Amino acid sequence: MRPTEKKIAVALSERGYKLTPQRRAIIRVIATSSDHLTPAAVYERVYQDHPHIGLVTVYRTLEILAQIGFARRIHGEGGCHSYVAALPGHRHHLVCSNCGTVIDFPGCDLSELERSLSRQTGFKIESHLLEFLGRCQDCQKKALI
Amino acid sequence: MRPTEKKIAVALSERGYKLTPQRRAIIRVIATSSDHLTPAAVYERVYQDHPHIGLVTVYRTLEILAQIGFARRIHGEGGCHSYVAALPGHRHHLVCSNCGTVIDFPGCDLSELERSLSRQTGFKIESHLLEFLGRCQDCQKKALI
DNA sequence: GTAGGTGCAAATCGTTTGCAGTACA
DNA sequence: TGTACTGCAAACGATTTGCACCTAC
């Protein structure tokens, strides 16, 4: 189950954060996207409803969301980060390296690997990021033409 | 087995890259360090032997080393990358979400999952990204204080 | 001799900070 | 009403680029 806008909003106010229209808009974008979004991408989408929003506000809100556990910061190629809504269940992505299509898939069993890593390194493993890169069917076909 | 200076040098010239004293120095630093080094850290170490080297040269050389497969670029917290001498085999990272420490680990068997995803989606899977997030031992201890 | 490499300075990109005005609780 | 939030502009750090000179092959 995906964290709803409402839940996030409640969690925010519980921690003393105020709920502003800008934050609502950012939360909506994060909560309804299944993609990894860079702060700039979030900004672009929010911008459509709130042309006066600042990129700075997006950065600050994303940081708060990450702090309260509703978003997760992940590392992308090329020195820019992106955020995903933290999903309670495991959700992973299959990304087409040509056209960018993203397919989600649920479930993966890494618990064994996690346990053994935890034992070896002393890390307390909290989550993982798994992403496959490849070519989608369409792009494979196009490549043949 | 860790790639030796000599091997890297040979691979460079095989691909038409020239072997300059600066590149030798950078290769030596990378090849003899077991740590993850940021470009700035490599620069600092190389600087001791080559006070006239530029940071730019370090960046360019590291990129070449990554291209020919003798170094690997990894993602750290805070928007800066580091490089490690590429260790043979497939490697992944364990990242501390608090202090940013990165530990790499070899091996992971995802071939079964890959096959089944490929069958279900028609994707031709080319590579994957696997990263675990958690707390390193030090940060766990600090959290108790 | 020539293509590729170097290093400086300046540009660029993502991200953060200072601050005055604004809005939520 | 008071504190937290916003958004502008400017600062910042990492990385890249343009260019003239240099050097390995």
Pick the closest to residue A65 from A144, A3, A1 (CA basis): A3
Note whether B132 contacts A122, CB cutoff 8 Å. no
Q: What is the pLDDT of residue A112?
A: 82
Sole residue written with tokens 């496959």: A132
Dist CA B124 CA B120 (whole Å): 11
Dist CA A40 CA A56 (whole Å): 10
Mean pLDDT of B2-27: 84
Q: What is the pLDDT of residue B89?
A: 58
Q: How far is CA B10 from the centre of its chain?
A: 20
Mean pLDDT of B112-119: 87
Q: Could you tell me the sign of the dihedral formed by the alpha carbons of B56, B58, B59, B60, in that order?
A: positive
Mean pLDDT of B94-102: 69
Q: Is A34 helix (H, G, I), strand (E, B) or coil?
A: coil
Tell me the residues of A at the B interface, defined by beta carbons under 8 Å apart.
72, 74-76, 79-81, 94, 96-97, 103, 105, 108, 113-114, 117-118, 120-137, 140
Strand C: which residues 75-94 of A lie within 7 A (CB)?
79-81
pTM comes to 0.70
Note whether B132 contacts A117, CB cutoff 8 Å. yes
pLDDT reading at B80 higher than 70: no
Q: What is the pLDDT of residue A38?
A: 87
Q: What is the pLDDT of residue B59?
A: 94
Comparing alpha-carbon positions, the chain A residue that sits nearest to B73 is A77
Q: What is the pLDDT of residue B23?
A: 94
Segment A72-95, tens digit of pLDDT: 777 655 556 778 776 655 567 776
DSSP character string of B61-127: HHHHHHHTTSEEEEE-GGG-EEEEEPPSS-EEEEEETTT--EEEEE----HHHHHHHHHHH--EEEE
Residues in chain A: 145
Q: What is the pLDDT of residue A99?
A: 59
| Percent of chain B's residues with pLDDT above 70 | 81
Residues 6+ apart with CB under 8 A from A10: none
pLDDT in tens, chain A (145 residues): 455 777 887 888 888 899 999 999 999 998 888 677 889 999 999 998 888 899 999 999 999 998 888 887 776 555 567 787 766 555 677 766 555 566 777 767 778 888 888 998 898 887 777 777 777 888 788 766 6
Dist CA B126 CA A43 (whole Å): 31
Tell me the residues of B at the A interface, defined by beta carbons under 8 Å apart.
75-76, 79-81, 94-97, 103, 105, 108, 110, 113-114, 117-118, 120-137, 140
Q: What is the pLDDT of residue A87?
A: 61
Percentages (nearest 5) of helix, strand, coil residues in chain A = 45, 25, 30
